[in-house]
């Protein structure tokens, strides 16, 4: 088996506003494996400033991995656990190589075009008019679950916008999820959550920054809105550390991002721990290209999900790759008529 890698810069169609800043491009890496007859590809979805493996020697690790593969050394996916995005890329590339179709990794009714995955519509931060326009667009497109990134505007203005949505659409018609990306300070966050609870919010992701386990625990105990952990899970690798984190904080939900958490098997380990504690969860992409999104979506369907997933990021980039993924009326589908080829980057 032979291996090589490539770096690629994805260009945002529109600037993506978050509490950590405005995103205009996204760096990613691809791992290619070949056995002489077939080629497989996996995306190493590094997220600068967020991934625990955002290290100066990141490319060196990819070089070393390819060197070992090219020497026919047998490597386990778990051996890369300190570099979760590379772990994810390697796991996916192996699945892609073994498949007759490199883009069908988890054959199912989904990949046969017979079933779908419900997803939320993502609304990026911006000024009030920009966010309102996005919300109206998502609802017109048929989404019944909207996820809004908050924490940049003045809270009163954000509350007013959310209240306007709720006045026009009941919780039975539109589910509202919020993602604060750790924007709120522990002091005063409870008052914000109490205000938001009047609007029948489904959940809020990471209301305060990660690394404040005691403060997050208190929030989860007292918050009138269910709390989901996202960034809090990044870099927590050992099973005993994961158990300790969940037992201490006891959140309502986990947000699972395979590229940031070490791939599919690693996320399944998180799911098992969550289910033992009656903690809910859903899967979210982390600005991967369509190659990574395709793999994540197929795996997600294999988990028999019924709730809305966060997999609607395929149309964010101007220079994305062809994909069998398509979105219609708030659902993600696999287009069996779309013939995709491994990109020649």
DSSP state of 108: S
| Alpha-carbon span 216 to 109, nearest angstrom | 39
Distance of CA 33 to the CA centre of its chain: 24
DSSP 177-244: EEE-TTBB-TTTHHHHHHHHHTT---EEE-SB-SS-HHHHHHHHHH-SS-EEESGGGTT--SHHHHHH
Cα-to-chain-centroid distance, residue 257: 4
| Residue 181 contacts residue 231 (beta carbons within 8 Å) | yes
Q: Which two tokens stand for residue 40?
A: 């497989």
130, burial (CB in 10 Å: exposed 0-12, middle 13-18, buried 19+): middle
Distance CA 86, CA 252 (A): 29
Partners of 149 in the beta sheet?
179
C-alpha to C-alpha distance for 296 and 148, rounded to whole angstroms: 21
Catalytic (active-site) positions = 149, 257
Helices (H) and strands (E) in the chain, counts: 10, 13
Pairwise CA distance, residues 189 & 153, whole Å:
15
What is the C-alpha separation between 66 and 340, in angstroms, rounded? Answer: 25
DSSP 120: P
CA end-to-end span of the chain: 20
Q: How far apart are CA 319 and CA 55, in angstroms?
A: 26
């Amino acid at each position: 088996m032979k291996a090589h890698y490539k770096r690629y810069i994805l260009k945002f169609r529109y600037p993506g506003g978050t509490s950590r800043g405005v995103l205009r491009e996204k760096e990613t890496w691809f791992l290619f494996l070949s056995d002489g007859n077939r080629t497989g590809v996996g995306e190493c979805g590094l997220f600068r400033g967020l991934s625990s493996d955002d290290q100066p020697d990141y490319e060196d690790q990819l070089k070393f991995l390819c060197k070992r593969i090219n020497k026919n050394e047998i490597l386990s996916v778990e051996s890369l656990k300190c570099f979760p995005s590379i772990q994810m890329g390697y796991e996916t590339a192996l699945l892609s190589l073994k498949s007759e179709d490199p883009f069908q990794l988890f054959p199912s009714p989904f990949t046969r075009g017979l079933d779908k995955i419900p997803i939320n519509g993502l609304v990026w931060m911006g000024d009030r008019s920009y966010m309102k326009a996005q919300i109206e667009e998502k609802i017109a497109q048929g989404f019944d679950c909207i996820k809004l990134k908050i924490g940049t505007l003045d809270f009163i203005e954000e509350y007013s916008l959310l209240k306007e949505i709720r006045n026009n659409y009941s919780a039975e018609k539109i589910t509202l999820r919020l993602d604060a990306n750790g924007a709120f300070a522990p002091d005063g966050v409870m008052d914000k959550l109490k205000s938001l609870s009047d609007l029948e919010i489904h959940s809020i992701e990471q209301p305060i920054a990660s690394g404040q386990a005691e403060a997050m625990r208190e929030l989860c105990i007292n918050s009138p809105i269910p709390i989901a952990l996202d960034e809090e899970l990044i870099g927590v690798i050992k099973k005993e550390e994961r158990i300790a984190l969940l037992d201490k904080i006891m959140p309502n939900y986990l947000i699972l991002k395979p590229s940031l958490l070490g791939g599919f098997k690693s996320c399944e380990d998180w799911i098992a721990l969550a289910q033992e504690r009656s903690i809910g969860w859903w899967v979210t992409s982390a600005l991967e290209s369509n190659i990574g999104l395709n793999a994540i979506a197929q795996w997600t369907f294999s988990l028999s999900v019924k709730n809305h997933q966060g997999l609607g990021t395929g149309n964010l980039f101007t220079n994305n790759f062809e994909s069998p993924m398509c979105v219609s009326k708030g659902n993600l589908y696999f287009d069996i008529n779309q013939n995709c080829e491994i990109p020649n980057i």
